[in-house]
Structure 1
Amino acid sequence: MDASGKVNYSLWGKPAVLETAADVMMCLVPIWVAITVGLIVGWSWKPRWVSFILLGIRSRPRLVWQAPPGLGARRFWLAMTAVSAYPMLKEVWTKFSEWMWPLVQPAEALPSSVQSVLSSQCAVTESHTKISITDEDLSSFMKQLDEADGGPAWQLLMERSATNLKYQAWRREPETGPTEYRSRTVLEDVSPALMRDFFWDDEFRVVWDDMLIYNKTWEECKDTGFMITQWVRKYPFFCKDREYILGRRIWESNNTYYCITQGVPYPAVPLRHTPRRVDVYFSSWRIRAVESAKGDGQLTACEVMLFHHEEMGIQRDLAKLGVRQGMWGCVKKIEPGIRIYQAERRQNKPLSPCAMMAHVMSKVPSALLNDHKVTTTSDGDSSVIGKEKHNLSHGYLRWMILGGAVALACGVERGAVGKFLVFGVVRRLGKLGRRL
């Protein structure tokens, strides 16, 4: 739904439908191959009870309901078939449930790299347990921004753009833990401070984020701005809703904001069967002003670098497919949402408690600033994308030149002098193609 209140059906355009259909078909290929192999193997090794089932299927089905009352042969066969098939169906459903909705390991059984996501400093007092996000968490996040965290290389996932909005997304597969995502969103005519409040304001989030169905703030620290928040997010009909217990804190340096949100243990909210608790969760932003795409040299645009991963408890390939298909649709809702938020701020409406907590920030330690290469423009990210496109275009050009040279050489059939000249040209073109 856009700012005017009209429903936007652009997600159901032809390119999106074709891309989704292609992804679904690719996912179905291994399933059909497995079914075919299973039928062949199962038919060759079929047990005796299969013969009884086939015998019943071959007979006329109408005898099932026309049989007289009492212990008839047909009803006895149906009862025995149901009793025999129940353990098999139960085992099939168990295997399917484990594949579709894998259970998340408890925190103490997770690898050390995943436990670092859940780690937080806990100080037990007489009244309650206080959990905080420390400078070590900020340092780890800044290493991710510098691509110095030791993880695998990022793979470009998509590039999209709309009015006053530019979006790029990457993905990588670590050795342990869930799939990690990185995205860069640039919005025109938005200040970093407004974007910071926009992301932190849970009361306004329900206006543009239709997946959030419940939120509650459990603890606040007026000195550091640390918060403990409970979220419940709506998932598709075949999945349970997900519950998040999040620790949140903001650091600031030279009008650049580092907003860290990650899952934290919190005994005050007991674990329930539904909604399902998500323990492994990390979603953090760097918000700063960048040069506008208008080319006027003014820092009137806002850049949001997001790093996100979570253990949703869904089969890995299905989760990747869902994230890929839904991420651009979610990002497109940000632009009309921020415009409504801007209009409300111009009317001097009072801030919500969550937005007021976004103004309580910590200063980035000078030691981290010296280690972290902070830039005021997006040249670094643009250069990476430009390099990928440069290498890709040169790869296509190289093969076009080499292919054209081979075709030219093979197309000459007569004349020794002509062939000599053509092969000389082919050799030069081949050297040019290798340099590219």
Structure 2
Amino acid sequence: MSVLADMLAEIFREPTLAGVARELATLAAPLWLAALVGLLIGWAWRPRWAAAVVDVAGHQQQPVPAAAAAQQAPAPQTTVADHLAVVPRAKAASLAPVEEEELAVSTPDLMHLRRVVEEKDGGPAWTHMMDRTLPTFRYQAWKREPQNGPPQYRSSTIFEDASPDVVRDFFWDDDFRISNTWDDMLLEHETLEECTKTGTMVVRWVRKFPFFCSDREYVIGRRIWASGKTYYCVTKSVPRPSVPRSSKPRRVDLYYSSWCIRPVESRNGDGAMTACEVLLFHHEDMGIPWSIAKLGVQQGMWGCVKRIEPGLRAYQTARAAGEPISKCAAMAHANTKFVADELTASENNTEAGSTSNNAQAEKPKHWTGNLPKVFVIGSVVALACTFDKGLLTKALVFGTARRFAGPGRR
């Protein structure tokens, strides 16, 4: 305060009014510049709630015509909730078709699974883990560890004398998982939603974990696509706020476990396509350290895999005996057909368009696009030169300007 008082006293000693005004303007200029810099920086990093307030105010000021409001009002008997509700098969045909993007699992999930199957998803390379062969099946496993996210696992299981249709139903049949106990971790299951037209389901699982962990709850969306005799089966966690959370069992929010089931040549050497390969891609965040999870997977993988093959043979026997299939397995028959070549062409066109848009975005911008940044940096430099009271202040101000300018040329 004493410094400011001395400066004001010095200013008012000026012999003319014009001199006093000039000196006051010189003193106030940095303050105005600082205020302007604060406004610009505050606008650049404005909080989300401020943008939301502006957006809400703008919407409130725009009245919606009555005709448009009537068009936007949902039809009383064709809501998405009606399509996704669990309904008897007899009533399914009377429902209007559900939109693809409104389903829990949609076409982009199929495209992603196909890229993973073809090893074109851009992820890290797979590292071989295991290779075991028994008389009736062969098992191979790989893993990879992305920078962000839990470890990912890929496996190939080839069952001799097995059709893709039965293997598809086998993995979809939650009732048989529990009754046969080949998947002894599954304690209970519940169907929350289903679309009988596309076969899309949302199910709730509770899985048993070791004694030192609480059981885990999963809310999973799943759907099957078919291209000939090749089936792409996607299962992944989906958000459902309507399903209440509890401390036990603990909810798993990140879960992905998908298969590609396809016929392959038997190893008998006769050229017959009587074997079936299951390519599995799996990762999840179970809420325990990933290093411990990796150790558990490595130690228990083969024991779990060995239980699958006897379960499949029991399932084949039950189907051959004419036992009725469960509702879960029946939903596996409501798969979505697609032509692989057409989907590949569509995906390539999408990627080409995305590349073109990126190229346009990377074109050099006109120098006028950098005016706000230049103005702010110039203002900060003026501040630094005005406050000629020490190196620390200048270093702080210039450091702020350099951070705002970004990692460009220094």
Secondary structure at the counterpart of residue 158 of structure 2: strand
Q: Choose the corresponding residue for 2:212, options 224, 235, 238.
A: 238
What letter is aligned with 1:367?
Answer: E
1:358–1:170 distance in 2 versus 1, CA, 3 Å: same
What is the alpha-carbon distance in structure 2 between the residues aligned to residue 201 and residue 145 of structure 1?
23
Match of 1:429 in 2: none
Pairs within 5 Å for 1:17-416: 125=80, 131-206=103-178, 207=180, 208-365=182-339, 366-370=341-345
What letter is aligned with 1:368?
Answer: L
Judge conservation of contact 1:248–1:262 (CA < 8 Å) in 2. yes
1:293–1:264 distance in 2 versus 1, CA, 3 Å: same
Q: What do residues 46-97 of structure 1 show as CA deviations (whole Å, max 9, x unaligned)?
A: xxxxxxxxxxxxxxxxxxxxxxxxxxxxxxxxxxxxxxxxxxxxxxxxxxxx
Offset at residue 371 of structure 1 (A): 7.5
Match of 2:359 in 1: none
Q: What do residues 21-57 of structure 1 show as CA deviations (whole Å, max 9, x unaligned)?
A: xxxxxxxxxxxxxxxxxxxxxxxxxxxxxxxxxxxxx
Q: Mean Cα displacement is larger for which, 214-223 or 357-366? A: 357-366
Offset at residue 364 of structure 1 (A): 2.4
Match of 2:385 in 1: none
What is the alpha-carbon distance in structure 1 between the residues aligned to residue 338 and residue 294 of structure 2?
34
Q: Mean Cα displacement is larger for which, 193-202 or 357-366? A: 357-366
What is the alpha-carbon distance in structure 1 between the residues aligned to residue 202 and residue 125 of structure 2?
32
Offset at residue 128 of structure 1 (A): 9.1
What is the alpha-carbon distance in structure 1 between the residues aligned to residue 83 and residue 271 of structure 2?
51
Judge conservation of contact 1:182–1:305 (CA < 8 Å) in 2. yes
Offset at residue 139 of structure 1 (A): 0.4
1:371–1:167 distance in 2 versus 1, CA, 3 Å: farther
What letter is aligned with 2:268?
Answer: K
What letter is aligned with 1:163?
Answer: P
What is the alpha-carbon distance in structure 2 between the residues aligned to residue 332 and residue 296 of structure 1?
26
Secondary structure at the counterpart of residue 154 of structure 2: strand
Judge conservation of contact 1:165–1:187 (CA < 8 Å) in 2. yes
Q: Mean Cα displacement is larger for which, 308-317 or 359-368? A: 359-368
Offset at residue 126 of structure 1 (A): 6.6
Judge conservation of contact 2:83–2:195 (CA < 8 Å) in 1. no
1:299–1:371 distance in 2 versus 1, CA, 3 Å: farther
From the CA coordinates, give the structure whose radius of gyration is larger.
2
Secondary structure at the counterpart of residue 132 of structure 1: coil
What is the alpha-carbon distance in structure 1 between the residues aligned to residue 301 and residue 346 of structure 2?
32
Q: What do residues 349-407 of structure 1 show as CA deviations (whole Å, max 9, x unaligned)?
A: 1110000000001012543245899xxxxxxxxxxxxxxxxxxxxxxxxxxxxxxxxxx
**RMSD value, Cα:** 2.0
1:126–1:306 distance in 2 versus 1, CA, 3 Å: closer
Give the TM-score taking structure 2 as reference length.
Answer: 0.59
What is the alpha-carbon distance in structure 2 between the residues aligned to residue 320 and residue 205 of structure 1?
24
1:291–1:371 distance in 2 versus 1, CA, 3 Å: farther
Judge conservation of contact 2:245–2:251 (CA < 8 Å) in 1. yes
Offset at residue 296 of structure 1 (A): 1.1
Q: What do residues 129-187 of structure 1 show as CA deviations (whole Å, max 9, x unaligned)?
A: 86421111110111111111111100001111222010000000101111000000001
What is the alpha-carbon distance in structure 2 between the residues aligned to residue 369 and residue 360 of structure 1?
23
Judge conservation of contact 2:255–2:283 (CA < 8 Å) in 1. yes
Where in structure 1 do 4 or more consecutive aligned residues deviate above 4 Å? 123-131, 369-373
What is the alpha-carbon distance in structure 2 between the residues aligned to residue 224 and residue 203 of structure 1?
21
What is the alpha-carbon distance in structure 2 between the residues aligned to residue 283 and residue 190 of structure 1?
21
5+ long unaligned stretches in structure 2:
1-77, 85-101, 349-410
What letter is aligned with 1:162?
Answer: L
Q: Percent identity?
A: 55
1:157–1:301 distance in 2 versus 1, CA, 3 Å: same
1:140–1:126 distance in 2 versus 1, CA, 3 Å: closer
5+ long unaligned stretches in structure 1:
1-122, 374-436
What is the alpha-carbon distance in structure 1 between the residues aligned to residue 291 and residue 141 of structure 2?
18
1:244–1:340 distance in 2 versus 1, CA, 3 Å: same
Q: What do residues 246-271 of structure 1 show as CA deviations (whole Å, max 9, x unaligned)?
A: 00000001100000000001123111
Secondary structure at the counterpart of residue 333 of structure 1: helix
Judge conservation of contact 1:146–1:372 (CA < 8 Å) in 2. no
Judge conservation of contact 1:158–1:170 (CA < 8 Å) in 2. yes
What letter is aligned with 2:323?
Answer: K
